[in-house]
């Protein structure tokens, strides 16, 4: 049978309190018995010692008889006895000690009642001082009953406090459970208040971060589906239209073939980007670590995209010196190509794109509109900058920057973006420099 956390906390707190109360009660009974007996014993010994020196002055006459109808008197706490009378009233061991040393202390049944006594011999008389033993018989049972009643009241109070504590401790968890249920149903719950203990605060904070990230992931997924469906539909619609034109004889086959080929390239690029990004996310894309000449990578990327730059009326200028790094040549070429293609796309006709390569560094600058400062932290998210400058991405799917970041990080580096002082934006790819052994091998 499963119990709720609240019930478990209640039972645990109550059990701990009851255990503490029980242990305190047992220890209190033992200590109280010992303390009461010690107090009574010291009192009777002190009184017996004081009276033993005044024994001749004490009256030896019998006490006056009680008036008719009065209750019989209880046992007298102080008695003056002969040695023979003391022998009848006290245990044998006490009488032996009394005759040997003149004093005896202990417990005995005197006048039918458990008592603590002190006896002192003074000549032929014995001073006997006794008091009832309060830790035995009905007296202590009454005291014990009162102690048990007080303990029961404390246990009830502990139960109430345990219930309140259990409810208070589980309240944040109930709120968290409710928010998790809303999240599981696809809704965006309100942030869970971060109030309570340090551990519950950390749990609420972690949940809120997870919910926020999940909301962003859902929005990104929705954007991916919408954008990919649009990017797939556009070339397919164009291909279908030109195919129908060829069939109707309204379009020249050569013109249709050129358009169909261009749209097929666009579809192939879109599918390739999606597959590359999926492999990066799954960690199955192979990335090598080897010495790479980033200057050669920059020139190869410029050569690859030279026709696209010519069509857009954009000039690409490569500036490179000794630019070596530890990377994967193919992946580094893909990163630089994606950044260069993005720069050509956003630069105006007649503009210039610069590619600078140095040791462990590649910079790609454009003359486009730049990136709003508030958008820079999200510049490498999928599809986020797809429509910047109001031109869209007519040749891509908005995944180039995301792939550039993933590949750069997979090679042990990173990529960042900044706005240029005059106009445009500059993307910087940082890759690990060559190690000392790699430099030595290249020199040799």
104-119 pLDDT, tens digit each: 888 887 777 778 888 8
CATH topology of domain 212-280: Helix Hairpins (1.10.287)
C-alpha 43/C-alpha 49 separation (Å) is 10
Domain with CATH 1.10.287.130 in the chain: 212-280
Is pTM beyond 0.85? Reply is no
| Pure H helices in 249-326 | 253-282, 294-304, 306-312
C-alpha 183/C-alpha 171 separation (Å) is 18
What's the pLDDT at 282? 61
Report the helix count and the strand count for the chain, using DSSP H and E: 11, 11
Least confident of 193-197, 208-212, 230-234, 354-358: 230-234
pLDDT digits (tens, 9 = 90+) for 40-85: 788 888 888 887 765 444 444 344 444 444 444 444 577 887 778 8
Q: Which among 37, 53, 247 is positioned nearest to 131, based on CA atoms? A: 37
Cα pseudo-dihedral 434, 436, 437, 439, rounded to 10: 60
Dihedrals φ, ψ of 66, to 5°?
-70, 155
pLDDT digits (tens, 9 = 90+) for 357-401: 998 999 999 998 888 888 888 788 766 655 444 434 444 446 778
Domain with CATH 3.30.565.10 in the chain: 287-443
CATH of 287-443, one of 3.20.20.70, 2.10.10.100, 1.20.1250.20, 3.30.565.10: 3.30.565.10
pLDDT digits (tens, 9 = 90+) for 241-299: 888 888 888 888 888 888 788 778 777 767 776 676 666 666 656 778 889 999 999 99
């Amino acid at each position: 049978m499963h119990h709720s956390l609240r019930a478990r906390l209640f039972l645990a707190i109550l059990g701990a309190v009851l255990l503490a109360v029980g242990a305190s009660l047992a220890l209190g009974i033992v200590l109280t018995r010992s303390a009461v007996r010690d107090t009574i014993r010291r009192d009777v010994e002190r009184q017996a010692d004081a009276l033993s020196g005044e024994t001749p002055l004490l009256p030896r006459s019998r006490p006056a008889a009680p008036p008719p109808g009065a209750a019989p008197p209880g046992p007298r706490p102080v008695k003056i006895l002969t040695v023979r009378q003391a022998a009848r009233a006290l245990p044998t061991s006490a009488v032996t000690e009394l005759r040997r040393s003149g004093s005896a202390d202990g417990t005995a049944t005197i006048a039918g009642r458990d008592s603590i006594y002190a006896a002192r011999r003074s000549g032929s008389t014995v001073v006997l001082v006794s008091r009832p033993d309060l830790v035995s018989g009905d007296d202590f049972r009454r005291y014990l009953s009162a102690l048990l009643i007080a303990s029961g009241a404390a246990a009830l109070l502990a139960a109430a406090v345990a219930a309140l504590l259990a409810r208070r401790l589980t309240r944040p968890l109930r709120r968290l459970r409710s928010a998790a249920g809303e999240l599981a149903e696809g809704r965006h719950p309100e942030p869970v208040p971060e109030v309570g203990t340090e551990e519950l605060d950390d749990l609420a904070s972690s949940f809120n971060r997870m919910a926020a990230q999940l909301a962003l992931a859902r929005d990104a997924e929705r954007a991916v589906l919408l954008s990919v469906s649009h990017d797939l539909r556009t070339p397919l619609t164009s291909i279908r239209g030109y195919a129908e034109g060829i069939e109707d004889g309204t379009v020249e086959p050569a013109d249709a073939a050129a358009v169909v080929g261009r749209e097929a390239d666009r579809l192939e690029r879109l599918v390739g980007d999606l597959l590359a990004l999926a492999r990066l996310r799954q960690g199955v894309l192979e990335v090598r670590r080897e010495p790479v000449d980033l200057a050669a990578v920059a020139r190869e990327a410029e050569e690859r995209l030279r026709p696209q730059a010519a069509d857009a009326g954009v000039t690409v200028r490569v500036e490179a010196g000794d630019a070596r790094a530890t990377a994967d040549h193919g992946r580094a070429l893909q990163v630089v190509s994606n950044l260069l293609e993005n720069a050509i796309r956003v630069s105006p006709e007649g503009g210039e794109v610069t590619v600078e390569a140095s040791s462990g560094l590649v910079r790609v600058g454009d003359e486009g509109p730049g990136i709003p400062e508030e958008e820079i932290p999200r510049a490498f998210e999928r599809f986020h900058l797809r429509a910047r400058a109001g031109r869209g991405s007519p040749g891509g799917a908005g995944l180039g920057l995301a792939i550039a970041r993933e590949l750069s990080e997979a090679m042990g580096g990173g990529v960042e973006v900044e706005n240029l002082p005059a106009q445009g934006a500059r993307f910087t790819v940082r890759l690990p420099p060559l190690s000392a052994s790699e430099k030595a091998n290249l020199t040799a």
